[in-house]
Amino acid sequence: MPNAEVYHKNKEKLKKQEADRYVRDRERILARNKAWNSANPESIKQSGDKYNEAHPERRLEIGRKSQKNRKQRNYESVMLGQAKGRAKRAGLEFNIDITDIIIPEFCPVFSSIALCKTNAKSFHNSPSLDRLIPSLGYVKGNVRVISHKANAMKQNATWQEIMKLAEWVKSEVERSPL
């Protein structure tokens, strides 16, 4: 037990020494850890699997919280990553970066809708990345952030198609006896 007593007596000093050593040797430590991780992927997987088996409810809770927190902390980054995935799947051009995603306080289409960046799922007031000309893809100058409601209404329609739809709806409402 003398070692435990010495440790507890000098706990703060030892923690400080360890922190200093890490700062001093950070690059070497990270390189060593990376090399070990590359050489031992099965050990890492087994360790994770063992933890997940022992704590299934904790693992799900952590996953849900981290996904929600990530989306709340950096909504623009999440939108960028999702757009990149959609572009890749659809074979569209993609050259935007995080600076191209500017989330306004209110939807530019429906000014009464305040955009909410805390939604875990898409709602009518969630920010949504719109391609002005869908066939061009996610390229600089072709993307805007509007509400999910406005983007769902727009879908892949051209402005001419949207105008035609609006004219039709207007004429139907005017002709309707209701």
* 24 phi/psi in degrees, rounded to 5: -65, -40
Nearest residue to 96 (alpha-carbon basis) of 82, 117, 116: 82
* 98 phi/psi in degrees, rounded to 5: -60, -30
SS3 state of residue 32: helix
pLDDT in tens, 58-117: 767 766 666 655 555 588 888 999 999 999 999 999 999 999 999 999 999 988 999 988
Distance CA 177, CA 76 (A): 46
To the question of pTM greater than 0.75 for the whole model, the response is no
Distance CA 47, CA 156 (A): 46
Give the pLDDT band (50/70/90) at residue 161: confident
Q: Note the residue count of the chain.
A: 178
Domains of the chain from N-terminus onward: 75-168 (3.30.40.220)
Nearest residue to 118 (alpha-carbon basis) of 62, 73, 77, 64: 73
Which amino acid would we find at residue 33? N
